[in-house]
Amino acid sequence: MTRLDESARALLEANTQTAELDGKRFRFTVPSVRAYPFQWFWDSCFHAIVWSRFDAERAADELRGLFANQEPDGLIPHVVFWKGDLVSRLQWHHLESRTTGRIPFYRRPHTTAQMQPPVIAQAVERVVDAGAAGFLEDALPYLERYYRYLAAFRDPDGDGLISIVSQFESGLDFSPVYDASIGFRRARPAALLARTRLPQLRNKLANYDVDTIFRRFRHHQEDMLVNAVYGQGLRALARLATQAERDAVARWASRTADDVTAALLERAWDERSKLFVNLAGPDERRAAVKTIHGLIPLVLPDLPPEIVDRVASHLDDPQTFGAPYPVPSVALDEPTFVRDHRLNGFRFIWRGPLSMNTNWLLVHGLRGHGHDEAADRIAARSREVVERGGLNEFYDPLDGRPVGAERFGWATLVADM
């Protein structure tokens, strides 16, 4: 094991917690013991990928906790709170959960009712490849239900791209890519907070019934990170289904993945900025801010080489994403870019700093397209900032200094670049 592997393993171990559900015990890694003390969906998928390097059984367990909380319609929630003690209950996000009792806001289940980027088939594939006994058969039914839920319930206009109903479903919470869609203009922190909560309040009033939300409201959008990861996940599902001799599932997943790439190219490619752009609302208004979302479709193996080259050219452009410490979450020349999340004294994440999960997606995406040099550069810089500043939630793309929560779970992906 390399030194990086050792510190990754130690951190995932230190952030491990256990919980019980229906008499069964589960173990999982929390993103950060202090800042994020619950189980998050895409964090756990990333943790499982890193766990699979050392301990296939432990990696499988990380995902079993998510499967156990799958809803009847197929959704796997973005946070599982697990604990029901008073302190934890007070922290539970009222606005993100479905109400199960008759009194609104009173009885809350142990999970949110939102999704996060669907990176779970990719994680299952890594765990299966690492040799977790019987895990393919265990995981496949949950995976199939989950991706079928996304295709059936999250694509109201039937164009092949799925929609999120809140920016917090994208995993890139306060990214300025969403500012215009929520009517946020001036840099007032209170306004940003209020405007991001409004769609969640509407969702809550619809009790997170996505059909109702799509019919009644306009705040949903087709997000480029979510859709790129969705397409990549469908390919992984197709390979897993083939391995398990479930040919009908494999065919469905490949066909659906083909549709995702075709729709991204047809509807969301922006030739002028050389990026993919988010499409907001039923009229698909194009986001005008250059953010990391626009590059993530590089994870799709079937992206045409001329498009790959155009997107990747941003990594050599010091005006946009070619930062001293790549890859910033917002292009350096955007007026909304901030190196350390700060907005008039308050902290809003994903408004500039780089994170290891998006770097990891890009490194592997670039390698898949033969852009090894760009991938190696991002990986080397990633290792450098971790060696200097520890395994952190974010880093300043101008000087590489750590930003945000310390001892952060998915930063361990640096060992897997």
Residue ranges in contact with ligand GLC by CB under 6 A: 31, 36, 40, 42-43, 171, 173, 349
Residue 31's nearest CA partner among 50, 5, 4 is 50
Which residue number, 42 or 214, has a Cβ lying nearer to ligand GLC? 42
Residue 395: half-sphere exposure toward Cβ, Cα within 13 Å: 31
Which residue number, 130 or 287, has a Cβ lying nearer to ligand GLC? 287
Give residues with Cβ within 8 angstroms of 116, minimum separation 6.
40, 41, 42, 78, 169, 170, 171
Which residue number, 121 or 349, has a Cβ lying nearer to ligand GLC? 349
Which residue number, 29 or 382, has a Cβ lying nearer to ligand GLC? 29
| CA–CA dist 29, 48 (Å, integer) | 9
Dihedrals phi, psi of 415, to nearest 5 degrees: -75, -10
DSSP string for residues in 310-333: HHHGGGG-TTTT--SSS--SB-TT
Cβ of 90: how many Cβ atoms within 10 Å?
A: 7
Residue 283 beta carbon to ligand GLC: minimum distance, rounded to whole angstroms: 27
**CA distances (Å), 323 to each of 54, 143, 352, in order?**
32, 37, 11
Give residues with Cβ within 8 angstroms of 319, minimum separation 6.
331, 332, 333
Residue 28 beta carbon to ligand GLC: minimum distance, rounded to whole angstroms: 13
Which residue number, 116 or 382, has a Cβ lying nearer to ligand GLC? 116
Residue 265 beta carbon to ligand GLC: minimum distance, rounded to whole angstroms: 26
Which residue number, 171 or 353, has a Cβ lying nearer to ligand GLC? 171
Residue 329 beta carbon to ligand GLC: minimum distance, rounded to whole angstroms: 10
Residue 410 beta carbon to ligand GLC: minimum distance, rounded to whole angstroms: 7
Residue 144's nearest CA partner among 229, 43, 44, 247 is 247
Residue 36 beta carbon to ligand GLC: minimum distance, rounded to whole angstroms: 4
Q: Exposed, middle or buried, 34 (CB in 10 Å: 0-12/13-18/19+)?
A: exposed
Residue 32, classed as helix, strand or coil, is: strand
Which residue number, 214 or 337, has a Cβ lying nearer to ligand GLC? 337
Residue 31 beta carbon to ligand GLC: minimum distance, rounded to whole angstroms: 3
